[in-house]
Structure 1
Amino acid sequence: MITHEDMVEAFGDEGLLLMDEEQARGRGFSDADAEVLCQVGLPVRADQVFTTFLPDEPRTGSPVVFKTGNGDVEVFILGGTAGDAGMRYFLDIGSGVVGLLSLDGQAQAEKVNSSLANFVEFLHRIRLRQQALNGDPDAGQDYTEKLWQSLKELDPDAFDSTEAWWSMVLEHLMDRGAIDEARAFLQQRRAEVAEAVSGDEPAAGSGSHRDRFDRALRRLEAQGWDVVDAEDFAAYTDGEGLLSPSAELEDHFGADGSLAKDVAIAWRGGLTSRIQSEFAREGLVVSVPEQDEDEDEDLLDLDADELRKRSDAAMKALFDSVHGLNEPKDGVVTCLATDRPSDLCRIARAFGRLAEHGYIAEPDLWPTPSGGWRQVQERTRPGQEPKAVFWVTQRHTECFDARGNLTDELPLQWAGDRELIAEALAETGLAVAVPEDDGSTFILAPAS
Structure 2
Amino acid sequence: MNDSGVRRFGEIAVPLTAGPYFATAESDPVPLREFAESVGRTVVRDECGQWTRFGSDRGFELCADTEGVVRAVLLDWAEESRFVNSTQERFAQSLALLDQALTAILGTDVPQEAAAAYAELEQRLRTLDPQAFEGREHWWPLVLDDLRDTASAEWFTAFEIVNDRGEKQIITQAGDIGVHPEERLWARLRAAGVEPEQVLGIHTELEACFMPGHYCSLWLGQVFPQVRLTHNFPYGETAASRAEGIRQLREAAAQQPQ
**TM-score (norm. length: structure 1):** 0.33
Inter-partner Cα distance in structure 2 for 1:155 and 1:370: 31
Mark the structure with the bigger radius of gyration. 1
Secondary structure of 2:68's aligned partner: coil
Inter-partner Cα distance in structure 1 for 2:114 and 2:76: 32
Aligned to 2:136: 162
Give the deviation of 1:53 after TM superposition.
Answer: 5.3
Large movers: runs of 4+ above 4 Å: none
Secondary structure of 2:51's aligned partner: strand
Aligned to 2:196: 415
1:178-234 deviations in Å (ceiling 9; x for gaps): 898xxxxxxxxxxxxxxxxxxxxxxxxxxxxxxxxxxxxxxxxxxxxxxxxxxxxxx
1:35/1:369 Cα in 2 relative to 1: closer, same or farther (>3 Å)?
closer
Give the deviation of 1:111 after TM superposition.
Answer: 2.3
1:142-173 deviations in Å (ceiling 9; x for gaps): 32122112211110000002111111111111
Give the deviation of 1:374 after TM superposition.
Answer: 4.4
Secondary structure of 2:81's aligned partner: strand
Aligned to 1:91: 64
1:375/1:165 Cα in 2 relative to 1: closer, same or farther (>3 Å)?
farther
Inter-partner Cα distance in structure 2 for 1:119 and 1:174: 21
- Please say if residues 99 and 111 of structure 1, whose CA atoms lie closer than 8 Å, have aligned partners that are also in contact: yes
1:131/1:62 Cα in 2 relative to 1: closer, same or farther (>3 Å)?
same
Inter-partner Cα distance in structure 2 for 1:141 and 1:50: 22
Aligned to 2:101: 129
Question: Pick from 132, 153, 169: which aligns with 2:127?
Answer: 153
What is the letter of the counterpart of residue 88 of structure 1? E
- Please say if residues 112 and 165 of structure 1, whose CA atoms lie closer than 8 Å, have aligned partners that are also in contact: yes
The answer to which of 171-180 and 41-50 deviates more is 171-180
- Please say if residues 369 and 413 of structure 1, whose CA atoms lie closer than 8 Å, have aligned partners that are also in contact: no
Inter-partner Cα distance in structure 2 for 1:369 and 1:176: 13
Give structure 2 stretches of 5+ with no counterpart: 34-42, 155-168, 199-225, 228-258
1:102/1:370 Cα in 2 relative to 1: closer, same or farther (>3 Å)?
closer
1:314-354 deviations in Å (ceiling 9; x for gaps): x89xx9xxxxxxxxxxxxxxxxxxxxxxxxxxxxxxxxxxx
Inter-partner Cα distance in structure 1 for 2:134 and 2:183: 36
- Please say if residues 55 and 63 of structure 2, whose CA atoms lie closer than 8 Å, have aligned partners that are also in contact: yes
Question: Pick from 115, 133, 143: which aligns with 2:87?
Answer: 115
The structure with higher relative contact order (CA 8 Å, sep 6+) is 2
- Please say if residues 24 and 54 of structure 2, whose CA atoms lie closer than 8 Å, have aligned partners that are also in contact: yes
Q: Does residue 1:175 correspond to 2:144, yes or no?
A: no
Inter-partner Cα distance in structure 2 for 1:124 and 1:102: 23
Give the deviation of 1:137 after TM superposition.
Answer: 4.7
The answer to which of 95-104 and 149-158 deviates more is 95-104
- Please say if residues 53 and 62 of structure 2, whose CA atoms lie closer than 8 Å, have aligned partners that are also in contact: yes
Inter-partner Cα distance in structure 2 for 1:16 and 1:370: 26
Q: Does residue 1:62 correspond to 2:52, yes or no?
A: no
- Please say if residues 60 and 78 of structure 1, whose CA atoms lie closer than 8 Å, have aligned partners that are also in contact: no
Give the deviation of 1:49 after TM superposition.
Answer: 1.1
1:250-298 deviations in Å (ceiling 9; x for gaps): xxxxxxxxxxxxxxxxxxxxxxxxxxxxxxxxxxxxxxxxxxxxxxxxx
Aligned to 1:234: none
Inter-partner Cα distance in structure 1 for 2:116 and 2:7: 31
Inter-partner Cα distance in structure 2 for 1:370 and 1:168: 18
- Please say if residues 31 and 50 of structure 2, whose CA atoms lie closer than 8 Å, have aligned partners that are also in contact: no
Give the deviation of 1:109 after TM superposition.
Answer: 1.2
Matches within 5 A, 1:32-431: 34-36=10-12, 41-52=13-24, 59-64=28-33, 67=46, 74-82=50-58, 84=59, 87-92=60-65, 94-133=66-105, 134-138=107-111, 139-177=113-151, 371-374=184-187, 388=190, 390-391=191-192, 413-416=194-197
- Please say if residues 31 and 49 of structure 2, whose CA atoms lie closer than 8 Å, have aligned partners that are also in contact: no
Inter-partner Cα distance in structure 2 for 1:162 and 1:44: 27
1:72-114 deviations in Å (ceiling 9; x for gaps): 87411111113x2xx100112x311111111253242132101
Inter-partner Cα distance in structure 2 for 1:161 and 1:140: 26
What is the letter of the counterpart of residue 128 of structure 2? L
